[in-house]
């Protein structure tokens, strides 16, 4: 199949890239909008190094946005710095929530307990929307095997007026492990102590081997996503 024109829709690009490798998806995104208009959003979580490695092999200067919510594990912040050095990432930008929003809505720092959706909105959704405003497209690391709302994600979709690329949509856990092993990537420091998926400290717990890896996120609540992946389209 010949590639669509640059003006093609997300659906057309999604059909074209259904069988593409993650590196090919990143390369297409870069070619479509250019480095200045493309960002990769990374949590620097337990599987983040795989996508960052794929991106770095394409272009180490693609901007990487990291949301420091104020509730990140110290181990995650250290892992971010380690991966920047290991992969030679040249443009990692740490995004933080607005001080006035925290003062107005979470001055005591306990909103995560009483209203986690609002906490995520203030600390993640709104800061990321602001940080992404200059970009035409963004890349993230969701996978279908993670299940839930992620089970049917496309490779390319729209997010408001932006293109959103999911290079790992089709990958399987063994492929993630292979990327780590072949590149000798360091694991997230919390993996060894039972954290299969890592987000904000108050809303992340360890998981047992027989649980879904994301079972430790917002444990005991119906909530499964922070909100940054709810398309505005």
Hey, which residues are catalytic here?
226
Residues 42 and 55: their CA atoms lie apart, in Å, by 11
Number of Cβ within 10 Å of residue 199's Cβ equals 23
The residues, any chain, with a CB within 8 Å of residue 139's CB and separated by 6 or more, are 26, 29, 38, 39, 40, 41, 51, 55, 62, 164, 165, 166, 167
- Two tokens at 48? 């983040």
Evaluate whether 48 touches 141 at the Cβ level (below 8 Å).
yes
Residue with structure tokens 């960002």? 39
Residue 105: CB partners within 8 Å, gap ≥ 6? Answer: 111, 118, 122
Residue in this structure with the two tokens 């600390």, named with its chain if needed: 123
Q: What angle do CA 93, 96, 99 make, to 5 degrees?
A: 145
192 phi, psi to nearest 5 deg: -65, -20
| Secondary structure letter of residue 133 according to DSSP | T
Token digits of residue 85: 């050095």
Enter the tokens of residue 138.
């963004």
> CB 213: neighbour CB atoms within 10 A?
16
């Amino acid at each position: 199949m010949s590639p669509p024109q640059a003006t093609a829709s997300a659906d057309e690009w999604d059909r074209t890239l259904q069988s593409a490798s993650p590196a090919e998806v990143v390369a297409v995104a870069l070619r479509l909008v250019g480095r200045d208009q493309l960002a990769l959003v990374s949590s620097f979580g337990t599987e983040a190094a795989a996508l960052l490695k794929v991106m770095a092999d394409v272009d180490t200067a693609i901007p990487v946005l990291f949301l420091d919510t104020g509730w990140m594990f110290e181990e995650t912040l250290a892992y971010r710095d380690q991966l920047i050095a290991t992969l030679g990432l040249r443009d990692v930008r740490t995004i933080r929530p607005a001080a006035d929003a925290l003062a107005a809505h979470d001055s005591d720092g306990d909103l995560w307990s009483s209203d986690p959706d609002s906490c995520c909105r203030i600390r993640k959704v709104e800061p990321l929307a602001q940080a992404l405003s200059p970009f035409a497209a963004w890349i993230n690391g969701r996978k279908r095997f993670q299940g839930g709302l992620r089970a049917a994600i496309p490779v390319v979709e729209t997010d408001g007026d932006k293109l959103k690329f999911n290079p790992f949509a089709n990958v399987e856990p063994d492929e993630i492990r292979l990327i780590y092993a072949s590149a000798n990537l360091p694991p997230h420091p919390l993996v060894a102590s039972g954290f299969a998926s890592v987000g904000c400290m108050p809303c992340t717990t360890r998981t047992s081997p027989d649980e879904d890896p994301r079972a430790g996120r917002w444990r005991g609540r119906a909530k499964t996503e922070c909100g940054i992946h709810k398309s505005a389209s």
